[in-house]
Amino acid sequence: MRFAEAYLAQLAQIETRLRLPAVRALHLPPIEAAQSKNGEFCAIELDDGSLGLSYVLLDDTLRRLLSSNAGAGVVGLPAMALARAYATGSGVERTLGFAAANAITRHFLDRAGYAPPDSADSVGALAPMPGDHVGMIGYFRPLAERIVATGAQLVVVELDAALAGAQTGYEVTTDAEVLEACNKVLSTSTILLNDTLDKVLARCARARRIALIGPSAGCLPDALFARGVSSLGGSWVTDSAGFVEALNAGEGWSRYARKSLVSAPDWPGFAGLLARL
């Protein structure tokens, strides 16, 4: 079963226990913000204020969402009806489905009285050190420099061939086979959206720790932990109104959210949380 299908199956169980709120709004950054990190994500907001994020810079997703007035088309939809597009749709539909699924997860976690702990670092608790061979999926230059500074060996796998080449202390490549030699892997959570998760994890059989990080990593982690992921780091919105205002304006929203990290040993489990309802 694909991750998307496993995730939606969990959300369907939530729907049997909770009356899920409908979709209140789709929030999008302006197109000019796409040149910065402030324009990388959209948010689906439910009627209770729950927010779920999804990455919008794959292909021309953001431009298509803005030009199609997609927000008007989703307002009032049952949250699960939109979320199902994460497993059944592609492109724009899959993007919106993932955001809706993450919004349902936030609604569920709030009702279950669970909030993920703060992240203690920026690399998903990988704890890189001399002797480690770290693979990074998606090029985060500041994080790459921090990993190299620990004395660990680093290789970065990046889809954009224009970024490939030798950097100071590490290499950027488009060849995912290099992950097979890594004992620790740090990946952008975008692999949950572009449907490359299982293909990537198949390359990481040697890795003792695999961390997925990114603002859109707001999903239930059970199916990821079952696949060998060790931690999931996301953004936990603490001020919904401020977050939405900043996102819509193409401004930084980090002050309205905190970085969180869920690790496999500390996760109470979906079944346990469901039993709290």
pLDDT for residue 253 is more than 90: yes
The strand ranges marked E within the chain are 23-27, 41-46, 51-55, 133-137, 153-157, 165-167, 170-173, 184-188, 209-213, 231-237, 257-263
CB atoms within 10 A of CB 18: 15
pLDDT, average across residues 174-198: 95
Domain ranges of the chain: 3-116+237-255+267-274
pLDDT for residue 35 is more than 90: no
pLDDT for residue 217 is more than 90: yes
pLDDT for residue 69 is more than 90: no
Residue 42 CA to residue 52 CA, distance in Å, equals 8
3-state secondary structure at position 210: strand
pLDDT at 71: 82
Could you tell me the two tokens for 230?
A: 């060790």
pLDDT at 180: 97
Q: Could you report the per-residue pLDDT of 93-132, keeping only the tens digit for each? A: 999 999 999 999 999 999 999 999 999 898 989 999 999 9
pLDDT for residue 233 is more than 90: yes
pLDDT, average across residues 162-187: 96
pLDDT for residue 189 is more than 90: yes
What is the share, in percent, of the chain residues with pLDDT greater than 90? Answer: 93
Which of 40-49, 115-124, 178-187 comes out lowest in average pLDDT? 115-124
Domain 3-116+237-255+267-274 belongs to what topology? Enolase-like; domain 1 (3.30.390)
Confidence of residue 16 (pLDDT cuts 50, 70, 90): very high
Please choose, from the candidates 264, 275, 226, 220, the residue with its C-alpha nearest in 3D space to the C-alpha of residue 52: 220
- The half-sphere exposure of 145 on its side-chain side, counting CA atoms within 13 A, is 3
